[in-house]
Structure 1
Amino acid sequence: MIIFFGLAIVLVCVFGSFLIAGGELGIIAGALPQELLIIAGAAAGAFIIANSSTTLRRAAEGVRRAFEGERWGKADYRDLLCLLFLLIKTLRTRGVVAIESHIEYPEESRLFAAFPRIAADPALVSFICDYVRMMAMNFEDPNQMADAMEADLDRHVAEEYQAQGALQTLADSLPALGIVAAVLGVIKTMGSVDQPTEVLGAMIGGALVGTFLGVLLSYTVVGPIASRLAQVIDAEAKYLTLVKTVIVAHLQGQAPQVAVELGRRTTPSNHAPTFAEMEAALDALPRDLV
């Protein structure tokens, strides 16, 4: 959980430097519950007002995904290439009848069962099956297939980015909500002007905690989480793009091995298997599947 490591650095450096400079955490600790309630409550209410239930659900899921990081690693890209090789190899050599059971009932397919992490993702399995099914229905124009898959990917990414955009908007609003909390604290202070100077100083300090919290939460918590989610969305979109690359290459008349090699070359460099690794993975596939 690298995000927790980053948050730890933020807290240690911010509050550590405050203590080293002679600051007292008592004022912050005393004002923190009320200021945090104002900021968090206003942020939550505004977030609910601004977004649909679907976006709210995706935003909550997006926070989890941001903490977990990229879902697909090098082994997953290799497995996807192997699965696509098996599917297009079966379609090319054994025909539509042989591939039909795999795409209509993927949960019972031996091809999908060989790659459990892929088989466990219903959206990915559905994406693959839909377009292999289109090939089996003689939809063989590679340009039209590429356009259809690109439109599907654009729609999927746009929907994912709605949640990311909502989180980023929330991050942008937090400093202003911190000012709201600070103004309320100042109003409270102005109602106590008859108090001693040290009391008023503590009250003003407590009011400024609201501004501090709003800025801190915006630029070190919610904003970075939104940015991390954008990276995760882009990474997962590349996984789906790999499916498009291999299928379109197949429709252009490339042999299964060549289509897979073209897909391997579009894999992100930090996850791409080498040519030798891909060859070894294909050679290691069970003979009864190939």
Structure 2
Amino acid sequence: MSSVFGIILTVICVFGGYLWAGGKMEIILHSLPYEMMIIGGAALGAFACGNDMHTIKATGKDLMAVFKGPKWKQSDYTDLLCLMHELVRISRENPVEVEGHIENPEESALFQKYPRILESTSFVEMICDTIRSMLMNFDDVYQVEEMLDKQLEGMKEESLHGAHALQNMADALPALGIVAAVLGVIKTMASIDKPPEILGGMIGGALVGTFLGVFLAYSLVGPMANKVKAIREQEHFFYALIREVLVSSLHKNETQICIEVARRSAPKHQRPSFLEMEQALKDLKNVAA
């Protein structure tokens, strides 16, 4: 919602200030379709040329995330901690039972309690693969910690591809605006025999290209790239909770302590309180009973 408000506020202030100063919108509206076609088309073409299809699709999802916000909400953090609590508890009490959950999570009654988590394939694979390694007596804490750190780093870098692509586009837009302006000047020079009032309008139209390039770069695309980066980095904390729980478990801490360590590493504005987490775990026990 804040992104929509920011875009509306930017447009109102920029064009409102221009009109208040005595500017006329006719020249901008007349040149806008042509300049936008040149600048937008060149930007999209360069974007498609410089990125693979996976990054292009990911960027489309990133743009949707700018307006929808992070995927994981506070309730998802509580669900994840509850899921990890049960997996750690079962793996200690009955390793054979936990194998049934991690070998086929799609059909696991435990995973099915948390459909939003289950639909994230890479996320579920990370949980299952690590617990599977622990069941195979791969219990060197530092090796597991290093393995998880590398996996999380790779996931984070991949999630930021869209933000990097958008930032590259933002960096290129001012130069593309100059390209559009130069083309407008070329067109103006070809009509040098026209009266000054006509030439003035043509030069003004050419400068719309420079304006659009700078405006799109610093008021829209650049801020969107920053927002995408912030969202993906925030979501990374969600995945890092797995590391905190499993590494703490390998240190032979009590299951409740493992969950508390992970809870405290969650972002403050999405972190469930101690009492909320305690109540959620009590509810789990009541359902199981």
TM tier, shorter chain?
over 0.9
Preserved contact between residue 79 and residue 115 of structure 1 (Cα < 8 Å): yes
Cα RMSD over matched residues?
Answer: 1.3
Equivalent position SS for 2:267: coil
CA distance in 1, matches of 2:288, 2:170: 50
CA distance in 2, matches of 1:289, 1:238: 29
Could you tell me the percent identity over the aligned residues? 45
Say how many residue pairs are matched. 289
Measured after TM superposition, the shift of residue 163 of structure 1 is 2.2
2:75 aligned with 1:78, yes or no? no
CA distance in 2, matches of 1:83, 1:33: 53
Residue segments in structure 2 that go unaligned for 5+ positions in a row: none
CA distance in 2, matches of 1:257, 1:242: 14
CA distance in 1, matches of 2:207, 2:226: 27
1:251-279 CA-partner distances (Å, limit 9, x unpaired) = 11001101001111111111111111111
Equivalent position SS for 1:195: coil
Measured after TM superposition, the shift of residue 115 of structure 1 is 1.7
- Partner AA of 1:21 in structure 2: A
Identify the residue that residue 22 of structure 2 maps to in structure 1. Answer: 22
Measured after TM superposition, the shift of residue 172 of structure 1 is 0.4
1:120-167 CA-partner distances (Å, limit 9, x unpaired) = 222221221111111122211111110000000111111222221111
Identify the residue that residue 182 of structure 2 maps to in structure 1. Answer: 183
Residue segments in structure 1 that go unaligned for 5+ positions in a row: none
CA distance in 2, matches of 1:289, 1:229: 40
Equivalent position SS for 1:168: helix
Identify the residue that residue 212 of structure 2 maps to in structure 1. Answer: 213
Identify the residue that residue 193 of structure 1 maps to in structure 2. Answer: 192
Equivalent position SS for 1:71: coil
Preserved contact between residue 27 and residue 202 of structure 1 (Cα < 8 Å): yes
- Of 139-148 and 121-130, the range deviating more from structure 2: 121-130
CA distance in 2, matches of 1:8, 1:158: 31
Identify the residue that residue 147 of structure 2 maps to in structure 1. Answer: 148
- Of 10-19 and 65-74, the range deviating more from structure 2: 65-74
Preserved contact between residue 86 and residue 289 of structure 1 (Cα < 8 Å): no
Identify the residue that residue 88 of structure 1 maps to in structure 2. Answer: 88
Segments ≥4 residues shifted beyond 6 Å: none
1:143-200 CA-partner distances (Å, limit 9, x unpaired) = 1110000000111111222221111011000000000000100111111111111111
- Of 267-276 and 59-68, the range deviating more from structure 2: 59-68
CA distance in 2, matches of 1:281, 1:260: 12
2:172 aligned with 1:173, yes or no? yes
1:26-48 CA-partner distances (Å, limit 9, x unpaired) = 00000000000000111111112
2:67 aligned with 1:54, yes or no? no
TM-score relative to the length of structure 2 = 0.97
- Partner AA of 1:197 in structure 2: P
Measured after TM superposition, the shift of residue 286 of structure 1 is 4.5
2:133 aligned with 1:134, yes or no? yes
Measured after TM superposition, the shift of residue 66 of structure 1 is 2.4
- Partner AA of 1:50 in structure 2: G
- Of 147-156 and 114-123, the range deviating more from structure 2: 114-123
TM-score relative to the length of structure 1 = 0.96
Equivalent position SS for 1:260: helix
Equivalent position SS for 1:194: coil
Equivalent position SS for 2:284: coil
